[in-house]
Structure 1
């Protein structure tokens, strides 16, 4: 694949942030994934491989910097990748990755319910083991 096409494959401008790259990749990968698409496999598989290759390069800060240097976007006046992810205000942290940190969001109600069920299961198993031991006459 030609290196100059990575931004085009994802449908992004070279000044896109890491979050925008991740969002575009997820949207397009859902459309072209061979297991979930209605397109013929002969069309979907190469397109999905191109998406993976583009995201592997643009989703990694170091690879993206090398890529941008290679296609000379930095000489065309575009900001460098290290400047792309910098927030407007200095109070929010800069992420090294396009992936969201799972600790930055509260648990959903479904996740809390599952944790509750797991706790009840653990307590139930402990009570069952103690009652079986008691009925068999084993010492506690």
Structure 2
């Protein structure tokens, strides 16, 4: 979290905006005036003070802004690098090949089993849905 987000101001905030934000938030996080546990409030208040000390000083703020911009550039470069890596397809591993071959064998086995069952039952291997049989029967009656 950046110091600007901690103080809940925009990076273009003026010195007056920073002071006002610090006053408002210090009342909220000061260990004597908050409802938070004292240890948590102390940590929050200390972070708030550090952020304010950096942003209120013009020289330190310039350095902080430069570091923030550098981190944004690094993050965007990492994102570009990751997107390039993700677009590259890797070859299948041995386990993936095994799973594909096993799937093919099981599908072929099901097909062979189905054909064997049709042959054993003596069926033609084709069947007609009931609704289609009824429509053919009606058509034959109309012709006769």
Q: TM-score, normalised on structure 1?
A: 0.48
Kindly indicate which of the two structures has a greater share of residues assigned to helix: 2
Higher relative contact order (CA 8 A, sep 6+): 1
